[in-house]
Amino acid sequence: MDAGRSSEYDVAVEWLRLGRDILVAAGQKERWNAYLAHLLEKHWRKYKLRPMLKELVLEEGQDNL
């Protein structure tokens, strides 16, 4: 994502989804939410990436994926 290769965003988001699932399974939902907020802030200009990242947001009470 840092390299700005928008053609690779799908792969990056799949890895992030896996990381999210692992953190949630380990009871670290807050850690995931903080990391995702950091990514959204860091990459706020990347119009293709932002909606993909927002799909990874966990809603309140959403602990099992």
Would you write out the chain's pLDDT as a tens digit for each of its 65 residues? 666 678 889 999 999 999 999 999 999 999 999 999 999 999 988 989 999 999 998 765 566 55
This prediction has a pTM of 0.79
- Predicted confidence at residue 7, as pLDDT, reads 87
- Predicted confidence at residue 59, as pLDDT, reads 60
Q: Tell me the C-alpha to C-alpha distance, in Å, between residue 19 and each of 12, 23, 53, 64.
A: 11, 6, 13, 14
